[in-house]
Amino acid sequence: MAIPDKFLWGGSISAAQCEGGWDEGGKSPVQVDFGDPGSTTDIRWIHYLNADGTRGKMRQFDHLPQGAKYQLFDDIRYTNHVGIDFYHRYKEDIALFAELGFTTFNTTISWARIYPHGVEGGVNQEGVEFYRNVFKECRKYGIDPVITLYKYDEPVYLEETYGDWTNREMIHQFVEFARVCFTEYKDLVDKWLTFNEIDSIIRHPFMTGGLIESRFKPEEFEEVEYQAMHHQFVASALAVKITHENIPDAKVGCMLTKLTYYPYTCKPEDVLEQQQRMRQIYCYSDTQVHGEYPKYLLQMYKNKGFNIKMTDEDLEIMKKYPVDFISFSYYSSSCVAADTKGLEMSAGNTVTAIKNPHIPSSDWGWQIDPIGLRISCVDLYDRYRKPLFIVENGLGAKDTVEADGSINDDYRIDYLREHIRQMYKAIEEDGVELMGYTTWAPIDLLSNSTNQMSKRYGFIYVDVDDYGNGTYKRSKKKSYDWYKEVIATNGSSILDD
């Protein structure tokens, strides 16, 4: 028993959560550069200056008041300014990934390093060379990188200048950013993702699309979100076009937050609620895979009276340049019901839903459901019949460093083992075409949902706390050698026992 040959094994990180070097190498600020843990370690605060000159702060997923501007204050510690210092330590980290046996590695390119002040400000060559060096370092070890263009870290300049993705100008700005990446790295990268979890713009419009809710009437904001999403769909399709023109053999994928829902009971009302909820997830990948809006989404626009401005050229571009494969994140599953009164709720990846009494939960309340990964693979492959790539799957947990320096994270091993086993069943028993699997994350990083280092995912421990205090020294956890063996045996070490 083993995973098919040429399967890609590795891990995923992002620039915004790892890189640091926030003001080095010509980079301009991005949204997370204005955030710190605040008074508690489970909330990120974004700091700003009000129009009257007074200080303000907001929760991570809220919005700036009218007239407010992003502002840095010297007396506040911004943990993202350093992250885990990947900017200076990427060679060390990639060497550790290579020792693990990685055949692939997913990370992001920070838009703010390539075009710090938009197209009009020109290309920052120092930023271009930084990523070239990262990708060359990967290739040196035989690691085939999968690179994401957009993950919540476009320059704040674009938000302040154009209002971000509410403005069609953002299509042009993104396409030119993508063009530089495809031109500069065509000999180093042949697998690309356009927008990370493009669907999250509806759940987290500020982080995902730079949308500032207070600048719109409450009754029109939902329409604004879908208009911004349309601009991202067009930008993504144009990125597929440019990729294929510059790198003919390259593959471009979409990236979906795979929120898997079960009906809480077999009552028809609960089953219908689950079906409707899943449509809210699939409408984004339906659009990017099939190259056109699904009729049920257009019907929703009509029923709500939305007037989403889209040109015939937009629709032609989307139809002509669909994605080549589907990548997705999967962490947990949830339940839904038509009536949630009296039911216990549970946290999850970007959502809160009904707790499933039949499965356990992590330290942060995310429910652990390995079979849900198999279900997700089957659902996606049956729906699209295109290759899949699992680019995020992992367990955020509190790790303890023992007196001898060891970190015995058996809970992480258990989580990943059972998910990989279910992944194998999806391939071997269900006929799913799966390109690869990258864990989130191979090295500890700042959790985007909480801005915490103490919510750790990695096989590699980073000695830094929630406030950025520590040596930043890297050390291997017990799971490091375990995952190394999984990769070395192409999965057979855990499939045969």
∠ CA 386-389-393, nearest 5°, is 145
Side chain identity, residue 46: I
CA distance 455 to 395: 9
Three-state SS at 435: strand
Spatial CA neighbour of 453 closest among 172, 144, 85, 135 = 85
User: Residues 6 or more apart from 393 whose CB is under 8 A from it?
Assistant: 329, 330, 331, 373, 416, 419, 437, 438, 439, 440
Tell the residue number behind the tokens 């506040």, with chain if given.
76
Tokens standing for residue 480: 């490091």
Spatial CA neighbour of 158 closest among 145, 140, 182, 174 = 174
Check 19, 159, 197, 225 and give the catalytic one: 197
Per the annotation, the verdict on 197 as an active-site residue is yes
Kindly report the number of other CB atoms within 10 A of residue 52's CB atom: 8
Spatial CA neighbour of 327 closest among 279, 380, 249, 260 = 380
User: Residues 6 or more apart from 410 whose CB is under 8 A from it?
Assistant: 478
407 φ, ψ (degrees, to nearest 5): -130, 105
CA distance 242 to 404: 52
Name the residues annotated as catalytic.
Answer: 197, 392
